[in-house]
Structure 1
């Protein structure tokens, strides 16, 4: 302890006191050699004589007695885990000051600060002021539809591996990309200053961006149209299917959501009639997150559209085409990790949540 490189300073000095004492030196002599107070030397020499090595550690300090009990902290946490409407509070979500005020109103504690509530909530990572949007599974055929999509991403169809001459295309529309002409020029970033975009703008119209993404080859084919619809979507299909290797492919699977441009059996028949080697596969209802082209659209939103500063719609189209060329030169396939096993786990969690919700509703009705 006295000569260890990683020994804390206090522990090192206490060890030196003990070693000097073992050599038969007096307390006054040890104090002079170590530069410590005589009372400090006397204290640690006496403690070591009584209890040995463990006595050189700091004793536990009692500190100030706690102002709140564990029960009070648990009651505030339980309150944070309830919706404000369930408690009669006219709030949409809890904040720490509101929880502190509610705890005092309910008599949980005579006085409690927002910082104390925040510390209690932090122990269990509770953040009732945040919220996320989500939706229950409503499609009765959710699993088989989702499995079809996930199997195609794994390059299988009905348990049979896809051949080299079979392709998977993920397609969708990004609606209403506006051309917002800022009333003052955008300022480039500088030292300690972010790029500045003027808040006011003039509207230059809007276009729809249709894109088809080859899942395995990581290649994007896109076009801009004045609006979405059956005809614009079929224009995209024709743009892709009229070129190689898709024109002569054995099968080209088109994964689409349930938008009005490609919804239902009519869209399946329409695609097959126009291109016999094209097979349309729909994602489940409210599950467009299974469509990989949505990932590409998020990249477009971050790197091309936002912040929106275009002089006119022609500039929107030019930048879109230039970005596609840039993206296709370096793109790699997305590392899709959501499998059918993950799908089963997700559905099992939703089933448990639904069962618990129904049970709570039944208890509330009975009460």
Structure 2
């Protein structure tokens, strides 16, 4: 035994996480290297002489720590063939209705049941199905919604919004007296009066909110968010519409610094309160220094005020326990003051370059989907 081999074995003995079977084998080899008889080692370690001889022989055949590991074993022969595994995975990637099963999504028990019914195998457990699917990260019980880009001017409209976030308009940087406002409405905020008082959190107990409630009305919350100054201006209305939105615009545009600003850009979605060229003309007539900019259709995620609305939903609306809509309005007004004291602009990271990359990837995906390769077409024909 060399000095480095002895040091490596001693290191294994000192390590607190070494497996006990490896400690035993290393001890046998070290004592054997010190010329201890096999019978004496067996008595001291309370193992059989055959065990001592086995590990002395393993070490002599191939000196090194690797010789102390377990030998490779064939294990139990597989119960299922690779073809059966592949057929089950293919079935998981096929909609249930195409297999004649009245389900919207597969689950592991349903896959196991149908594998037997379809004659793939005589019997199989749902745990086996789950293990097979996890090898390829297949989760057919999950689903995700998506939507096509339907706005023909999506790229141009989205680029204008993203440029404003970067303080650019028509290729020119915004001036010191230019402002960008992101605005929208959060509709139908209900006042749900719980039938029993909400219990505060305590030791090993979360807040408890009674499930039953009485509806005490609903209101709409209109908000305008200054993108670069992180100021929020909001108001509550009975409903949304052209007139309530005009009141929000007046609330913002009649106060400093927007009243004397050179330009105030209003980013809005395509809701009925501010849709189309008519809304742009109304805003320009009401306030000549205001410019309305629409996001693309089905792209409200480009509107930063939606981030603020998500904060309102988490911190104010949920859990919903208000006696009436006046309490809702008062809470929202108080939160605006609280938020504006310490608010920082959102770290918006999605740029025009990211948009171009996204649209290019979508275009490649659409072309690949419309033109399947020859092998796939032949497989489908077969």
CA distance in 2, matches of 1:148, 1:299: 25
1:355 is aligned to 2:367: yes
| Contact 1:174–1:209 (8 Å) recurs in 2 | yes
Name 2:51's counterpart in structure 1: 40
Q: TM-score, normalised by structure 1?
A: 0.94
1:189 is aligned to 2:201: yes
Name 1:25's counterpart in structure 2: 36
1:345 is aligned to 2:345: no
| Contact 1:3–1:12 (8 Å) recurs in 2 | no
CA distance in 2, matches of 1:331, 1:88: 55
| Contact 1:121–1:127 (8 Å) recurs in 2 | yes
1:70-85 aligned at under 5 Å gives the runs 70-85=82-97
CA distance in 1, matches of 2:237, 2:317: 16
CA distance in 1, matches of 2:95, 2:371: 18
1:50 is aligned to 2:61: yes
Name 1:282's counterpart in structure 2: 294
Q: TM-score, normalised by structure 2?
A: 0.90
1:250 is aligned to 2:262: yes
Name 1:88's counterpart in structure 2: 100
CA distance in 1, matches of 2:257, 2:48: 87
CA distance in 2, matches of 1:35, 1:248: 93
Name 2:124's counterpart in structure 1: 112
The partner residue of 1:205 within 217, 222, 232 is: 217
* Structure 2 unaligned residues grouped into runs of 5+: 1-7
1:219 is aligned to 2:231: yes
Q: CA deviation at 1:35?
A: 4.3
CA distance in 1, matches of 2:227, 2:72: 62
The partner residue of 2:157 within 134, 145, 149 is: 145
CA distance in 1, matches of 2:95, 2:260: 57
Bigger CA drift: 145-154 or 189-198? 189-198
Name 2:4's counterpart in structure 1: none
Q: Secondary structure at the match of 2:323?
A: coil
1:154 is aligned to 2:166: yes
| Contact 1:168–1:214 (8 Å) recurs in 2 | yes
Q: CA deviation at 1:3?
A: 1.4
CA distance in 2, matches of 1:194, 1:19: 57
| Alignment root-mean-square deviation, CA | 2.0
Q: CA deviation at 1:199?
A: 1.8
CA distance in 1, matches of 2:227, 2:301: 14
Q: Secondary structure at the match of 2:235?
A: strand
| Contact 1:2–1:13 (8 Å) recurs in 2 | no
- Aligned pair count? 365
CA distance in 2, matches of 1:106, 1:41: 54
* Structure 1 unaligned residues grouped into runs of 5+: none
Name 2:76's counterpart in structure 1: 64
Q: Secondary structure at the match of 1:126?
A: coil
